[in-house]
């Protein structure tokens, strides 16, 4: 795959128009696809276009020129003979496979729909079809429906950008399962945080040795999503809704880890071990005292926000890799970690962002008893909002350390002891015009609104 990490994002309306034109053509040609789209909106408030793994389009004529004109480039992903893969590396639009043959140039020939499990997709859709590719292999696909000149496939990926199903030895499948289990049961709790972070780094290196970097990242993040969902009702509600149409968390947009200043360099090293590379950096302003390094795992299509307290003079340069000295006052991120722990350990993700039909999801989650906070992005190309935070109890020893350190006043400690503190959220995100970036200006606002001191006082 051509790997280029975008740090400056722009809307891509022309590229989206081209892709969505083909998508509408596919919906018209394949009636079952329209039925799945209706079910995805009705049952899970998902837009099916956000779950497209790839489109197959007939080669010929001016199709390549059309793709190039809107920013698509040919890549070196593994494909079947006669196919040429194209990706738009500055957008979140799905890849396009150009297929040579006798079909009219530009005609849509196929759609791949992604899910956590091809078997789940087939079972939910009531289709008995063979799955190509070994269990737990990098790519598995199944032909779900086909008609005159069109086909719909279910696609299951594990850190792989190619389009040819992978057959592997049973020992390789066993290695994926064993590695996932080791990551799931790793020590997350205890007083020796530095030791636990170092052990997690060593385990990440072992996963990479066993599975390769990309599949190791896939395995670790599947576990992290499950760990987060066990501590967040909104996650469980939305996951159940998405399981009704068979997709699991295939619509994930980004994962957010919070870190203390002390352990931030190790968090970054763990992510880099798993193949993440730096993207843009965020700083929310002096009044917020917070920054983030965005990172991307290209083969897994995983994005991470790595959040940490920062001072204004620390923004310049590469704060992700240099040590951050202790500060006398805890900011929003530091206090969250002091109350709950490191995101890479027991606390888990602060939030997962899922691509949804924004307004529908606000209403649908509301009917399930999950309230949504006011949005912090309301652009035509980007809409974002957190669900109301999950309130977690705070361990007495953590409160005592805060009292001893003098970083939180006694009244706040009493409220935390009585009411707990906000721990995690689900983020509802809708992207349009192919935009893959984030809202620099309003992120500081949502960070302020999720500060444990403020949320506890309101509670």
Residue 297 near residue 217 (C-beta atoms within 8 A): yes
**Which one, of 43, 190, 22, 6, lies nearest residue 124 by Cα?**
43
CA distances to 18, 68, 112, 238, 412 from 90, rounded to whole Å, are 15, 13, 21, 29, 44
Q: Is 456 helix (H, G, I), strand (E, B) or coil?
A: helix
pLDDT score recorded for residue 50: 98
| DSSP codes, 306-349 | EEEE--GGGSSS-TTTS-----SS--HHHHHHHHH--TTTTT--
Question: β-pairing, 150-157 with 83-87?
Answer: unpaired
Q: Is 283 helix (H, G, I), strand (E, B) or coil?
A: strand
pLDDT score recorded for residue 418: 95
pLDDT score recorded for residue 89: 95
**Which one, of 13, 103, 110, 111, lies nearest residue 63 by Cα?**
103
Q: For residue 316, count other CB atoms closer than 10 A to its CB.
A: 8
Q: Is 248 helix (H, G, I), strand (E, B) or coil?
A: coil
Query: Directed axis angle between helix 170-184 and helix 193-211, to 10°?
Result: 170
Which sequence spans correspond to the domains of the chain? 13-157, 176-458
CATH number of 13-157: 3.10.180.50
Question: β-pairing, 302-309 with 252-258?
Answer: parallel
CA distance 103 to 58: 6
CA distance 224 to 204: 13
* The residue to which tokens 């499950």 are assigned: 226
- Cβ contacts of residue 35 below 8 Å, gap of 6+? none
CA distance 311 to 315: 7
Residue 162 near residue 79 (C-beta atoms within 8 A): yes
pLDDT score recorded for residue 459: 39
> Which residues lie across from 157 on neighbouring strands?
139
- In 3-state terms, the chain is what percent helix, strand and coil (to 5)? 40, 20, 40
Residue 234 near residue 425 (C-beta atoms within 8 A): yes
pLDDT score recorded for residue 131: 98
pLDDT score recorded for residue 284: 67
Q: Class assignment of domain 176-458?
A: alpha beta
* Matching fold, domains 13-157 and 176-458: yes
Give all strands of the β-sheet with 73-74 in edge-to-edge order: 73-74, 83-87, 96-99, 52-58, 108-114, 150-157, 139-147
Q: What is the pLDDT along the chain (459 residues), one digit of tens a residue?
A: 555 677 789 999 999 999 999 999 999 999 999 999 999 999 999 999 999 999 999 999 899 999 999 999 999 999 999 999 999 999 999 999 999 998 999 999 999 999 999 999 999 999 999 999 999 999 999 999 999 999 999 999 999 999 999 999 999 999 999 999 999 999 999 999 999 999 999 999 999 999 999 999 999 999 999 999 999 999 999 999 999 999 999 999 999 999 999 999 999 999 999 999 999 988 766 656 788 999 999 999 999 999 999 987 787 778 888 888 888 788 899 999 999 999 999 999 999 999 999 999 999 999 999 999 999 999 999 999 999 999 999 999 999 999 988 778 899 999 999 999 999 999 999 999 999 999 866 555 555 566 665 654 443
């Amino acid at each position: 795959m051509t790997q280029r990490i975008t740090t400056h994002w722009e809307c891509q309306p022309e590229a989206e128009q081209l892709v969505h034109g083909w998508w509408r053509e596919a919906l018209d040609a394949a009636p079952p696809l329209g039925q799945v789209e209706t079910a995805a909106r009705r049952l899970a408030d998902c837009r099916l276009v956000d779950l497209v793994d790839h489109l197959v389009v007939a080669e010929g004529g001016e199709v390549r020129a059309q793709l190039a004109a809107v920013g698509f480039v040919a890549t070196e992903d593994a494909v079947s003979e006669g196919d040429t893969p194209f990706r738009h590396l500055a957008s979140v639009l799905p890849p396009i496979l150009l297929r040579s043959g006798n079909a009219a140039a530009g005609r849509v020939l196929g759609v791949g729909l992604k899910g956590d499990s091809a078997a789940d997709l087939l079972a939910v859709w009531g289709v008995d079809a063979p799955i190509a590719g070994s269990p737990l292999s990098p790519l598995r696909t199944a032909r779900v429906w086909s008609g005159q000149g069109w086909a719909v496939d279910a696609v299951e990926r594990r850190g792989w950008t190619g389009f040819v199903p992978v057959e592997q030895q049973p020992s390789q499948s066993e290695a994926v399962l064993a590695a996932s289990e080791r990551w799931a049961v790793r020590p997350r709790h205890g007083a020796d945080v530095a030791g636990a972070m170092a052990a997690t780094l060593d385990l990440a290196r072992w996963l990479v040795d066993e599975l390769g970097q990309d599949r190791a990242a896939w395995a670790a993040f599947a576990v992290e999503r499950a760990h987060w969902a066990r501590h967040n009702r909104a996650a469980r509600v939305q996951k159940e809704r998405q399981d009704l149409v068979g997709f699991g968390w295939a619509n994930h947009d980004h994962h957010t880890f919070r870190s203390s200043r002390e352990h931030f360099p190790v968090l970054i090293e763990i992510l880099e071990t798993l193949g993440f590379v730096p993207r843009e950096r965020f700083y929310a302003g002096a009044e917020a005292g917070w920054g983030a390094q965005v990172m991307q795992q290209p083969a897994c299509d995983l994005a991470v926000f790595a959040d940490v307290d920062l001072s204004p003079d620390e923004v310049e340069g590469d704060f992700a890799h240099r040590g951050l000295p202790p500060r006398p006052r805890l900011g929003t991120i530091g206090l969250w970690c002091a109350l709950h722990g490191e995101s890479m350990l027991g606390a888990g993700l602060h939030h997962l962002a899922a691509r949804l039909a924004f307004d529908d999801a606000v209403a649908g989650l509301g009917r399930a008893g999950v309230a949504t906070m006011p949005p912090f992005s309301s652009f035509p190309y980007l809409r974002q909002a957190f669900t109301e935070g999950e309130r977690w109890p705070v361990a007495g020893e953590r409160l005592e350390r805060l009292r001893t350190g003098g970083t939180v006043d006694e009244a706040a400690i009493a409220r935390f002891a009585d009411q707990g503190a906000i721990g995690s959220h689900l983020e509802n995100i809708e992207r349009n015009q192919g935009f893959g970036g984030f809202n620099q200006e309003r992120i500081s606002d949502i960070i302020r609104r999720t500060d444990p001191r403020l949320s506890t006082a309101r509670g």
